[in-house]
């Protein structure tokens, strides 16, 4: 029975050792190369190590090995006993304490944001979490009102009005979109000057403006090719966004309040 228990314990130890080995990328003088070592080398660039070409992975590992060798040599040199090392270590401890403290505050704030609170924010500001209205239009831009009126007359008498519009845009429009038949693609109304957007938004698909639309650029004839009304995004699709936004604002308010309270009882002397 004792032998059986020893065998089981030994097997468990071997399995644990293999599992630990599988979670590393090797070792340097007995010190394992961990996922954290790899992450610190490529993670800051937002690169996934496993997605890299094998040759690049080898270069990354070589960089980690070199860093570990130098780190081990630095420790052997006694650098940890120098005043500079000790003062820098104290600064790092303070920075780490602050970082962990801030993360703790943020986690507590995030935990306090229940689904009920998030839904309340969602319902209160649905416009912020919506896909904005979009228009698809084309236009012909000319310098004078009379030119624009003449073009409208030609469109009125045309059988295939869209084909005629495209033809006139290519031959008479002074705008950069003229060569593409005046096509402006999809755009949010706010992207255009107000007069243009207002006129385009009043049109139905396939219609064009019957009177010239004056803007700072000249006179436009506008044809509407499509319209997408504003739609609210589902709550679940924006839940994380709402949570991050509320937590971020609450965090900023909390830290500001806390520093104001700490200042009241602190002895602060600043050199001028």
Separation CA 259–CA 267 (nearest Å): 13
Instruction: Kindly report the three-state secondary structure assignment for every residue of 191-258.
Output: HCCHHHHHHHHHCCCCCECCCCEEECCEEEEEEEEEEECCEECCHHHHHHHHHHHHHHHHHHHHHHHH
* CB distance 137 to 206 below 8 Å: no
**Is 8 a residue whose pLDDT tops 50?**
no
Smallest Cα–Cα separation from 169: which of 155, 156, 159?
A: 155
Q: Which of 52-56, 179-183, 265-269 has the highest mean pLDDT?
A: 179-183
**Is 9 a residue whose pLDDT tops 60?**
no
**Is 128 a residue whose pLDDT tops 90?**
no
Residue 133 DSSP one-character state: P
Lowest mean pLDDT among 4-18, 70-84, 200-214, 235-249: 4-18
| pLDDT number for residue 28 | 92
Q: Which CATH number fits domain 133-229: 3.10.50.40, 3.30.420.10, 2.40.30.10, 3.30.390.30?
A: 3.10.50.40
* CB distance 212 to 126 below 8 Å: no
Q: DSSP letter string over 141-184?
A: EESSHHHHHHHHHHHHH-SSHHHHHHHHHHHH--STTGGGTTEE
Separation CA 28–CA 156 (nearest Å): 82
Separation CA 69–CA 85 (nearest Å): 19
**Is 112 a residue whose pLDDT tops 80?**
yes
| pLDDT number for residue 14 | 39
Residue 82 DSSP one-character state: S
| pLDDT number for residue 45 | 61
| pLDDT number for residue 67 | 92
Within 10 A of 224 (CB to CB), how many other CB atoms are there?
Answer: 20
Separation CA 1–CA 7 (nearest Å): 10
Mean pLDDT value of segment 113-136: 91
84-112: burial string, b at 16+ Cβ within 10 Å, e else: eeeeeeeeeeeeeeeeeeeeeebeebeee
**Is 19 a residue whose pLDDT tops 60?**
no
In Å, what is the CA distance from 243 to each residue of 113, 205, 231, 251? 7, 39, 21, 12
| pLDDT number for residue 10 | 42
In Å, what is the CA distance from 201 to each residue of 133, 137, 148, 226? 10, 10, 19, 10
Separation CA 68–CA 97 (nearest Å): 25
Helix (H) / strand (E) containing 32 = strand 31-34
Separation CA 1–CA 256 (nearest Å): 65
What is the CATH code of the structural domain delimited by 20-77? Answer: 1.10.8
Using pLDDT thresholds of 50, 70 and 90, give the confidence band for residue 44. Answer: low
| pLDDT number for residue 23 | 60
The residue ranges of every structural domain in the chain are: 20-77, 83-130+234-272, 133-229
What percentage of the chain reaches a pLDDT higher than 90? 75
Name residues whose C-beta falls within 8 Å of residue 149's C-beta, 6 or more positions apart in sequence: 212
Measure the CA dihedral 246/252/255/260, to 10°: -130
Measure the CA dihedral 192/198/201/202, to 10°: -160
| pLDDT number for residue 97 | 95
**Is 50 a residue whose pLDDT tops 90?**
no
Tens digits of per-residue pLDDT, 202-250? 999 999 999 999 999 999 999 999 999 998 889 999 999 999 999 999 9
* CB distance 140 to 186 below 8 Å: no
| pLDDT number for residue 177 | 95
């Amino acid at each position: 029975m004792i032998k059986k228990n020893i065998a089981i314990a030994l097997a468990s130890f071997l399995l644990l050792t293999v599992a630990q080995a599988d979670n590393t990328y090797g070792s340097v003088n007995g010190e394992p190369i961990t996922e954290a070592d790899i992450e610190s080398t490529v993670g800051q660039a937002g690169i996934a190590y496993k997605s890299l070409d094998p040759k690049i992975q080898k270069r990354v590992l070589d960089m980690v090995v070199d860093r570990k060798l130098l780190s081990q040599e630095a420790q052997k040199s006694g650098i940890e006993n120098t005043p500079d090392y000790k003062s820098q270590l104290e600064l790092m401890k303070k920075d780490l304490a602050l970082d962990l403290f801030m993360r703790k505050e943020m986690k507590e704030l995030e935990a306090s944001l229940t689904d009920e609170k998030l839904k309340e924010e969602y319902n209160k500001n649905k416009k912020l979490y919506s896909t904005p209205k979009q228009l698809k239009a084309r236009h012909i831009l000319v310098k004078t009102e009379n030119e624009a009126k003449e073009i409208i007359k030609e469109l009125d008498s045309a059988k295939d009005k869209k084909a005629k519009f495209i033809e006139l845009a290519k031959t008479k429009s002074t705008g950069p979109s003229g060569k593409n038949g005046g096509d402006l693609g999809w755009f949010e109304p706010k992207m255009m000057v107000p007069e243009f957007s207002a006129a385009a938004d009043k049109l139905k698909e396939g219609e064009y403006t019957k009177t010239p639309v004056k803007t700072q650029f000249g006179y436009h004839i506008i044809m509407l090719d499509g319209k997408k009304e504003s739609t609210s995004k589902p709550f679940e699709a924006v839940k994380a966004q709402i949570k991050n936004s509320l937590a971020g604002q609450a965090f900023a308010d909390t830290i500001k309040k806390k520093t104001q309270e700490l200042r009241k009882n602190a002895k602060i002397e600043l050199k001028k």
